[in-house]
């Protein structure tokens, strides 16, 4: 039998958590990976660590927290796939230091989030959440008071990245004016314009929608002062991360009717599973749409994400390609028939590359192709050598000081 990978594909273990779409399993199996375990929920603590003891590839979504402690308990882990956009749940530095490459799906659920936000903006401008809640209780709130068309209103987008920019285009198609705030100068799409500051945006927008990643700089960025700076009767929508809004300050503004309404999809503390109770100061406020972190949860987005991230994991497993990794130097080297491929991940300190190449010189191994990329912490070198030399080279490479991980691919 001809081997295609150093470790028989049938022995490589994938663990997919949080109900990742079956499209991922199908792709992995079609690529020869038969050991794929799928769990519907997230794992944490000792259970997560115990499960990871013999796992090579892990798939998660936004809920599973991968800390330095978790990586330390996963000696065989080669890569992590975040089957979502955000990677704030992964300690990316710790992953890198353990030689674990991380990938995500930066675009597959963008449209789903943008559509949800627009739908919520329309419903909130019409007071539908309150009228719907009243009707369920036997009430009948037929009135035009505080009910508005979306046409002609100003949408303020905070974070003009993939989602913010997509939302901008859709909003203009509905006749909205768009103003955005971003820490980076961005090309405005259509007639959108970039505000000079968050406060300028807050003073102009009828609807403020947040689309920033979770970062130290975005934590609690919508606090009491920022909410007070919003126009009276404005609407706040948050489908980014729960740590971006001070939820108590929002609840106070909504109770006092300073804001017309809000739609919140993400929370500082979210239930761990569908079985746990959702607790929030926003519960019971009829002018708030509360959704259980489903901005990206559509069949279309999940199916696409399943394929996108599974493909990235397969490419990394099969030939060492790290293109679009979120924490690793990017390397993509074409396959060289008849050669074996050595993957060497090391600390980016002076002397490691020369020590690596000294191994080849010492063993008189001819290099067919070699590619090195580094980032501030880690170096990743891919070397293709004659098949007959790969075992001896692999053994010697693993002993080079500064080595984090090394693999050989046949």
Ligand X SMILES: O=C(O)C(=O)COP(=O)(O)O
Ligand Y SMILES: NC(=O)C1=CN([C@@H]2O[C@H](COP(=O)(O)OP(=O)(O)OC[C@H]3O[C@@H](n4cnc5c(N)ncnc54)[C@H](O)[C@@H]3O)[C@@H](O)[C@H]2O)C=CC1
Query: Which parts of this chain interact with ligand X (CB under 6 A)?
Result: 61-63, 84-86, 109, 293, 296-297
Inter-CA distances, 314 with 59, 160, 173, Å: 12, 31, 39
Separation of alpha carbons 19 and 42, rounded Å = 8
Question: Using the rule CB under 6 A, is 211 a contact of ligand Y?
Answer: yes
Residue 110 C-beta: closest distance to ligand Y, Å: 6
Residues in contact with ligand Y, shown as a per-residue x/- string from 169 to 208 under the rule CB under 6 A: ------------xxxx------------------------
Q: Which stretch binds ligand Y (CB under 6 A): 38-46, 237-245, 313-321, 375-383?
A: 237-245
Residue 249 C-beta: closest distance to ligand Y, Å: 18
Residues facing residue 66 across a β-bridge: 90
Which residue pairs, CB below 8 angstroms and at least 24 apart, start in 163-169?
163/85, 163/110, 163/113, 163/114, 163/211, 163/239, 164/209, 164/211, 165/189, 166/110, 166/111, 166/114, 167/113, 167/114, 167/117, 167/118, 167/209, 167/211, 168/192
What is the arrangement of strands in the sheet containing 154-158, beginning at the earlier edge strand? Answer: 193-194, 177-181, 154-158, 207-210, 235-238, 261-264, 288-290
Please confirm, yes or no, whether 126 is among the known catalytic residues.
no
Question: Using the rule CB under 6 A, is 239 a contact of ligand Y?
Answer: yes
226 binds, among ligand X, ligand Y, none (CB under 5 to 8 A by kind): none
Residues in contact with ligand Y, shown as a per-residue x/- string from 294 to 313 under the rule CB under 6 A: -xx-----------------
Among 218, 243, 304, 317, binds ligand Y (CB under 6 A): 218
Closest to ligand X by CB, 12 vs 163, is 163
Q: CA nearest 353: which of 328, 380, 377, 323?
A: 380
Question: How many chain residues are in contact with ligand Y, going by CB under 6 A?
Answer: 31
Residue 379 C-beta: closest distance to ligand X, Å: 29
Residue 152 C-beta: closest distance to ligand X, Å: 31
Among 162, 194, 370, 403, binds ligand Y (CB under 6 A): 162
162 binds, among ligand X, ligand Y, none (CB under 5 to 8 A by kind): ligand Y
2 binds, among ligand Y, ligand X, none (CB under 5 to 8 A by kind): none
Handedness of CA 74, 77, 79, 81 (dihedral sign): negative
Please confirm, yes or no, whether 270 is among the known catalytic residues.
yes
CA-based diameter of the chain, in Å? Answer: 86
Handedness of CA 291, 292, 295, 297 (dihedral sign): negative
Pairing of strands 235-238, 207-210: parallel
Separation of alpha carbons 333 and 322, rounded Å = 10
Separation of alpha carbons 331 and 325, rounded Å = 9
239 binds, among ligand X, ligand Y, none (CB under 5 to 8 A by kind): ligand Y
Residues in contact with ligand Y, shown as a per-residue x/- string from 112 to 151 under the rule CB under 6 A: -x--------------------------------------
61 binds, among ligand X, ligand Y, none (CB under 5 to 8 A by kind): ligand X
Inter-CA distances, 150 with 117, 130, 162, 308, Å: 12, 18, 22, 35
164 binds, among ligand X, ligand Y, none (CB under 5 to 8 A by kind): ligand Y
Residues in contact with ligand Y by the rule CB under 6 A: 85-86, 109-110, 113, 158-164, 181-184, 211-215, 217-218, 239-241, 265-266, 293, 295-296
Give the catalytic positions in this structure: 241, 270, 293
């Amino acid at each position: 039998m001809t081997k295609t990978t150093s470790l028989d594909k049938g022995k490589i273990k994938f663990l997919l958590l949080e109900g990742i779409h079956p499209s991922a399993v199908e792709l992995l199996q079609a690529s020869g990976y038969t050991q794929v375990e799928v769990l519907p929920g997230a794992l944490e603590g000792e259970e997560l660590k115990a499960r990871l003891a013999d796992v090579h590839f892990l798939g998660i979504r936004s809920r599973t927290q991968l800390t330095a402690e978790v990586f330390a308990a996963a000696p065989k882990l080669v890569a992590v796939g975040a089957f979502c956009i955000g990677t704030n749940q992964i300690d990316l530095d710790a992953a890198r230091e353990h030689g674990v490459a991380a990938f995500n799906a930066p675009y597959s659920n963008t449209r789903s989030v943008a559509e949800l936000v627009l739908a919520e903006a329309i419903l909130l401008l019409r007071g539908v959440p309150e009228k719907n809640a009243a009707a369920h209780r036997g009430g009948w709130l037929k009135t035009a008071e505080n009910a508005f068309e979306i046409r002609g209103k100003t949408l303020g987008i905070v974070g003009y990245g993939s989602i913010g920019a997509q939302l901008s285009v859709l909003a203009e198609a509905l006749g909205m004016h768009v103003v955005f705030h971003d820490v980076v100068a961005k090309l405005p799409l259509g007639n959108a314009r970039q505000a000079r500051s968050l406060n300028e945006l807050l003073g102009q927008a009828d609807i403020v929608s947040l689309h920033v990643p979770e970062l130290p700089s975005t934590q609690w960025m919508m606090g009491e002062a920022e909410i007070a700076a919003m126009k009276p009767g404005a609407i706040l929508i948050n489908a980014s991360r729960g740590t971006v809004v001070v939820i108590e300050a929002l609840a106070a503004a909504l109770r006092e009717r300073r804001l017309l309404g809000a739609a919140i999809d993400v929370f500082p503390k979210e239930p761990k599973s569908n079985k746990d109770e959702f607790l929030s100061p926003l519960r019971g406020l009829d002018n708030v749409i509360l959704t259980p972190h489903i901005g990206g949860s559509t069949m279309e987005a999940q199916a696409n994400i399943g394929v996108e991230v599974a493909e990235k994991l397969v490419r990394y497993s099969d030939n060492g390609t790290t293109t679009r990794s979120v924490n690793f130097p990017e390397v993509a080297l074409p396959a060289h028939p008849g050669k074996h491929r050595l993957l060497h991940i090391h600390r980016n300190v002076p002397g490691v590359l020369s020590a690596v190449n000294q191994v080849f010189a010492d063993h008189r191994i001819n290099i067919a192709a070699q590619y090195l990329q580094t980032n501030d912490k880690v170096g990743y070198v891919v070397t293709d050598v004659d098949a007959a030399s790969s075992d001896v080279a692999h053994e010697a490479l693993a002993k080079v000081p500064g080595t984090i991980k090394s693999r050989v691919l046949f």
